[in-house]
Chains A and B, each alone.
Chain A
Amino acid sequence: MTSSRIIQHPILNFERGKKKVLYFEDKPVEVYENESVLAALYANGVRIFSRSRVLKRPRGAFCLIGKCSSCLMEADRVPNTRICITLTKDLREVRYQESSASPPKTSFFIAKKPEEIPTDILVIGGGPAGLYAAMYASKYGANVVLVDENPTIGGQLVKQTHKFFGSKDLYSGIRGFEIAKKLAKILHKRKNIKILTNTSVFGLYSGKLAGAYHLRRKQLLKIKAKQITVATGASERFLVFENNDLPGVMGAGAAQTLMNVYGVKPGEKALMVGAGNVGLIVSYQLIQAGVKVVAIVEAMPRIGGYLVHAAKVRRLGVPIYTSHTIKSAHGKEKVEGATIIALDKEFREIPGTEKYLEVDLICLAVGLNPYSQLLSQAGCEMVYIPELGGLVPKRTRYQETTISGIYVAGDVSGIEEASTAMLEGGIAGISAALKIIGNNEKALNEREEMLEKLEKIRAGRFFERIRKGLRKVLIDERRGNSTY
């Protein structure tokens, strides 16, 4: 099996760690210890990781972040292991399991005893919003616990290779993954921030008690906070078309994870579905990784992303077909081609306009949904707002939800971008800290400055839909809210 590892990348250096041997179906495979099992197997040509329960259809890599259940395998005898978020350094062997795992016959590990962690402010999610919330809450003296499911903090920033634009104080001119590194460095230095990675918050209980699970230590953590900021980001939307479950169909974010985090080529020839910012940027990143982007299709009559991103891919010869969509994927056991088709003004397929493209990778960049389940579960008042990407909480302009002491920031409160996520995070962080330290003029002023910056960014034409959406969810901070 030829390796799809990226050896020379124009921007990224991959810290893969030491080489080791992983047994895949009892056969030794060469991997690196800092790779996820999925990335390692993918690099060795494996494309099928499981099969569907009834029809036994092949399942490939789809989300790469532990949320879709396509990659469940038996790892060191543990069934239903999400190999996309398990590093090879922790394992000896991995194998296919039956669609329904056989019952565990022995215990596999000794769980650590549960730990209680009291704190002032719990920040859930270590992306730009969460990092800023933690940074500003701790700046004003609050004790912060920052929790993230992934092995490193940085959220979507770690996968971004392009230089950000905007204002200098929000890191314009610096590449996303470098911003992540800078912020992580600042946070790691602060004595009043405790960072827990590989840790998933699974529930918010009465009295601001968060139930969390440390995935590597196998430990239940009971985090008792005075204030909570939820900055859990978003998850990728799926698209309905024939054979959309074939290995080779994956989210754009998943392709990014493979390429930019693990240095593994997701394919040779790609079709990108969606010309919003994510579609355009990931297309460019695919090209940087040595993948040929055969076409980008966009159902709307206009490109949705910033023109500067579109121009970059057009200059490299990638055609962007607006008013087009994907009709079906083709292939036996994996993607071998795709049929795209034109749409009329009512978004109906125009028969006769089908075009066959030879591709082995279909990336879906068709929008994001706020990952707001924790907020629903905690009892925050939620509203479905299409302009903001889906189900979002009502909130004051200081980012507080209808539950006193629960704040939101970033994509979970409405799909936007990194700069607004950072500012919302800062506002939420300061607001939460004020409740701990009492009135502080410096903090109040800094918060007002951030609100102004946020308003300025949102004044642009690009943000018209978002402004419309936000008007529907903004509540007055003077009205009372419930306790939880």
Chain B
Amino acid sequence: MKRRASVVVIGGGISGLSIAYNLAKLGLDDVVVVEKRYLGSGSTGKCGTGIRQQFTTKEHIMLMKESVKLWEKLSEELGRDVGYRQTGYLWLIRDEEELSVFKENVNIQNKYGVPSRIINVEEALEIVPYLNPEVFIAAAFCHKDGKASPFKTVNAYYEAGRRLGVEYYTYTEVRGMVVENGRIRKVITSRGDIETDKVVNVAGAGARKIGEMVGVNIPVENYRHHIVVTEPFQEFVKPMVIRGKLYFTQTERGGIIGGIDMPEKPDQPLRARLDFLEVFATNLVKVMPILKNVNILRQWAGYYVMTKDNHPILGEAEKLEGFYIAAGFSGHGFMMGPIVGKLIAELIMYGKPSVPIDALRLERFERGELIYERAVIG
């Protein structure tokens, strides 16, 4: 294990791997990723795989516009297929009240160059046959949204980073950090110490704890969400379909994957719930009745790391030089992986990212400068 690194990236999910890869791509040597279990074992490996630009704030829309551009070329850039498919997101609108909200959302999205539009029931049925036309009156669709494979993406970033000299220490837990004169000096891990003056806290559900080690308050909360996958079929659900808090799509393998919001207190252990299956099944079958007798293969739980305004925390902590944060992705971290990696790497190397992320700094919470995102799925 290295005794000294230029940057220690804490967290081996898509964001951490993307940051490490981008740093190495910009020419930085001695980049190290420390992961307490295996790469992708946190929220990345448990997510619903969706990639969308249909958000309601300028910050999210701009970030995801850029992220999608990167996703479109990611397999080529990393030299390995990440399973990216631009099959769209189809948001089913239930009533007139929702329709006016979605019309507003689509306006904002169009204003920033995202080609979403309101379509009618017939058009929606052409995109996803077998939908129950009685449970929605219109839909919002963006053909440039899509999905990818979390596992293939993790592997691709890992290998590409490795080729550029990034080193990865898995099953290695960060136990503390040494700070002297307002600067980081070293990271203490379960397998030894690493001297460095730059740390990226991209530890997902562990981000708050990492912040506490250096007296930086990272106001995120870990909420357990549930997800399920069915037996495989030939492809018949191309986009991500959403209705209220229910979402579902089809994996590469052919299983229907999806989830729905369940009442949960923060910090629950990641155990599955049986009532989730009942609630999900009831709601899914309402939207797509042919799935009534389909077999469920597997269910699992993962964390949405939530901030008060559902936007991530990106940037360097003002009170601790060299302590960078990319956390609190509130259920949409996977899709942001490519752009977050690029921007944090630029911030570290040049002091300034190519897309402004000032509004998403940590300090916005204590200054009351929150930006509220309304469209959180699942």
The interface of chain A, by Cβ under 8 A from chain B, is: 78-80, 98, 100-109, 111, 114, 203, 205-206, 209, 211, 218, 220, 222, 379
Contact = CB atoms under 8 A, between A and B. Distances in A.
A220 B275 CA distance: 11
B233 interface: yes
Contact of A103 (B277, B290, B299): B290
B59 to A, nearest CB: 38
B277 to A, nearest CB: 7
Interface in B267-303: 271-274, 277-278, 289-295, 299
14 contacts: A78-B293, A80-B232, A101-B233, A103-B233, A103-B234, A106-B290, A107-B292, A107-B293, A108-B293, A109-B293, A203-B272, A205-B272, A211-B277, A218-B293
A101 B293 contact: no
B171 interface: no
A209 B290 contact: no
A111 B299 CA distance: 20
Contacts of A218: 293
A222 B293 contact: no
Contacts of A103: 130, 233-234, 236, 290
Contacts of A80: 231-232, 295
A205 B274 contact: yes
B206 interface: no
B271 A114 contact: no
A97 B234 CA distance: 11
A211 B276 CA distance: 12
Contacts of B277: 211
B254 interface: yes
Nearest to B288: A103
B293 A102 contact: no
Nearest to A105: B290
A380 to B, nearest CB: 13
B229 to A, nearest CB: 14
Interface of B is mostly: loop
Chain B interface residue count: which class? 20 to 34
Contacts of A98: 234
Contacts of A211: 274, 277
A301 B367 CA distance: 76
A101 B274 contact: no
Given A79-B233, A108-B293, 7 more contacts: A78-B293, A103-B236, A106-B290, A114-B278, A220-B278, A222-B274, A379-B271
Task: Sort A-B residue pairs by CB-CB distance and give the 6 closest, nearest first.
Answer: A107-B292, A103-B236, A100-B234, A211-B274, A205-B274, A103-B233
Contacts of A220: 278
Nearest to B268: A206
Contacts of B292: 104, 107, 111
A111 B293 contact: yes
A477 B101 CA distance: 60
A105 B294 CA distance: 11
Contact of A205 (B273, B294, B295): B273
A78 B231 CA distance: 12
Contacts of B271: 205-206, 379
A103 B238 CA distance: 13
B278 A107 contact: no
B71 to A, nearest CB: 26
A199 to B, nearest CB: 15
Given A114-B278, A205-B271, A211-B274, A100 B232 contact: yes
A80 B294 CA distance: 9
Q: Which has the most chain B C-beta neighbours within 10 Å: A102, A105, A211?
A: A211
B290 A101 contact: no
A218 B277 CA distance: 15
B285 to A, nearest CB: 9
A220 B277 CA distance: 10
A100 B230 CA distance: 13
Q: Which has the most chain B C-beta neighbours within 10 Å: A100, A104, A109?
A: A104
Nearest to A106: B290
A107 B290 contact: yes
Contacts of A203: 272, 274, 299
Nearest to A81: B295
A456 B271 CA distance: 40
Given A114-B278, A206-B271, A220-B278, A101 B234 contact: yes
A276 B294 CA distance: 40
Nearest to B291: A104
Nearest to B294: A104
Nearest to B292: A107
A209 B271 CA distance: 13
Interface string B232-255: 111010000000000000000010
B201 to A, nearest CB: 29
A479 to B, nearest CB: 21
Contacts of B231: 79-80, 101
A204 to B, nearest CB: 10
B286 to A, nearest CB: 13
Contacts of B294: 104
Contacts of B233: 79, 100-104
A104 B234 contact: no
A105 B233 CA distance: 12
A103 B293 CA distance: 11
A439 B293 CA distance: 47
Contacts of B234: 98, 100-103
A101 B232 contact: yes
A103 B290 CA distance: 8
Contacts of B274: 203, 205, 209, 211, 222
Contacts of A78: 293
B254 A100 contact: yes
A80 B277 CA distance: 20
A102 B292 CA distance: 15
Interface in B21-55: none
A101 B130 CA distance: 16
Q: Which has the most chain A C-beta neighbours within 10 Å: B233, B236, B274?
A: B274
Contacts of B299: 203
A205 B276 CA distance: 11
A114 B130 CA distance: 26
Nearest to B281: A220
Nearest to A82: B295
Nearest to B232: A100
A101 B299 CA distance: 21
A106 B292 CA distance: 8
Contacts of B295: 80
A114 B294 CA distance: 16
Nearest to B290: A104
Nearest to A202: B296
A267 to B, nearest CB: 31
Contacts of B289: 107
Nearest to A220: B278
Nearest to A205: B274
B153 to A, nearest CB: 22
A103 B232 CA distance: 9
Contacts of A222: 274
A35 B278 CA distance: 33
A394 to B, nearest CB: 20
A81 to B, nearest CB: 10
A97 to B, nearest CB: 10
Interface in B193-216: none
A206 B254 CA distance: 30
Contacts of A379: 271
